[in-house]
Amino acid sequence: VVLKIIKHYQEEGQGNEVVQGVLLGLVVDDRLEITNCFPFPQHTEDDADFDEVQYQMEMMRSLRHVNIDHLHVGWYQSTYYGSFVTRALLDSQFSYQHAIEESVVLIYDPIKTAQGSLSLKAYRLTPKLMEVCKEKDFSPEALKKANIAYENMFEEVPIVIKNSYLINVMLWELEKKSGVADRHELLSLASSNHLGKSLQLLMDRVDEMSQDIVKYNTYLRNVSKQQQQKHQYQQRRQQENLQRQSRGEAPLPEEDINKLFKPPQPPPRMESLLIAGQINTYCQNIKEFNAQNLGKLFMAQALQDYNN
């Protein structure tokens, strides 16, 4: 499955193109076994006749006919510098997890993998976030009541990769064919481009967070302004009723003040949580890049001392 995901990205996902696909397998005891997968084909807006659901059903039906595991257990997606904490991923994973409780999403990072170590992580939505998504209420009050923060939106599931003997043989042959010079390239410190790109994406998300904070502060000012208007209106009504009472007239009829002053709609806060989660991911990437470069520096120095 891992080799299929990597192959799918190398064939169709070069650059910042994101590739996706379906995970197939079965549930055994307390673990989810992912034994097969197939990709979503790349299609443009011109392919209006393409039915994604029908395509999945036909693929699963074909696999069942040849006695291959065909149960739907999640999906996978590549990521561009860790930019996967998005509303699209949240909605997709909620749909999968709502229909099939054990569903996971595998996130494959080709950039980190190219640095010398496989980067593949499995995520699920936490039970708290699942409840909020079911209610579809992303107001500040609802998220505060559910105690949702960006730290407890997703839960990472540990992955154990098991290779067949044929896969192990193939990897061993590939390792034999790779030259010593190629291995030494892994000690190269030329990752400033990756670090710079991560910093740029981090700054973009911080700008988005600042804009979101401005929107929320505007909402709070409007609420405060409306409260003052309500208070002034009630005071005027009270004074007018006192004057009517002194003249022996009936007081003014009661009015629903909430209809006169409709409260402003609070901005949804889910986007802010996703942006905060993405900022945290970029910070982790930058931290890993720095640690990786420091390790390479020590390894290169040790190798040079050994050669001397």
Residue ranges, the chain, pLDDT below 70:
15, 43-49, 178-192, 292-293, 295-297, 300
Residues 55 and 115 in one domain: yes
| Helix, strand or coil, per DSSP, at residue 23 | strand
User: What was the pLDDT predicted at 43?
Assistant: 64
Q: Are 60 and 14 in contact (CB under 8 A)?
A: no
Residues 112 and 246 in one domain: no
Classify residue 41: in a domain, yes or no. Answer: yes
User: What was the pLDDT predicted at 188?
Assistant: 60
Q: Per-residue pLDDT tens for 256-266?
A: 777 777 888 88
| Helix, strand or coil, per DSSP, at residue 132 | helix
Classify residue 122: in a domain, yes or no. Answer: yes
User: What was the pLDDT predicted at 113?
Assistant: 85
Residue at which a domain ends, from 149, 175, 201 = 175
Classify residue 206: in a domain, yes or no. Answer: no
**CA distances to 2, 102, 108, 143, 193 from 152, in Å:** 27, 18, 21, 12, 31
Number of domains making up the chain: 2
Residues 120 and 228 in one domain: no
User: What was the pLDDT predicted at 32?
Assistant: 92
Residues 74 and 222 in one domain: no
Residues 60 and 167 in one domain: yes
Residues 17 and 148 in one domain: yes
Dmax over Cα atoms in the chain, in whole Å?
A: 108
Residues 86 and 36 in one domain: yes
Residue at which a domain ends, from 175, 209, 236 = 175
Which ranges constitute the DSSP H helices of the chain?
2-12, 52-65, 87-99, 110-114, 127-135, 140-145, 165-177, 180-184, 192-246, 257-260, 270-307
> What Rg value do the Cα atoms of the chain yield, rounded?
28
Classify residue 130: in a domain, yes or no. Answer: yes
User: What was the pLDDT predicted at 184?
Assistant: 56
Which pTM does this prediction carry? 0.76
Residues 65 and 157 in one domain: yes
State the residue range of the domain holding 72: 1-175
User: What was the pLDDT predicted at 124?
Assistant: 94
Q: Which of 279, 274, 150, 285 is nearest to 204 (CA)?
A: 279
| Helix, strand or coil, per DSSP, at residue 78 | strand
Residues 35 and 169 in one domain: yes
User: What was the pLDDT predicted at 261?
Assistant: 79
Residues 111 and 232 in one domain: no
Residues 157 and 234 in one domain: no
Classify residue 212: in a domain, yes or no. Answer: no
Classify residue 293: in a domain, yes or no. Answer: no
Count of CB atoms within 10 A of residue 80's CB? 16
Q: Per-residue pLDDT tens for 3-55?
A: 999 999 988 877 678 899 999 998 888 899 999 999 888 766 666 667 777 88
Residues 109 and 241 in one domain: no
Count of CB atoms within 10 A of residue 123's CB? 19
**CATH number of the domain where residue 117 is located:** 3.40.140.10
Classify residue 236: in a domain, yes or no. Answer: yes
Classify residue 194: in a domain, yes or no. Answer: no
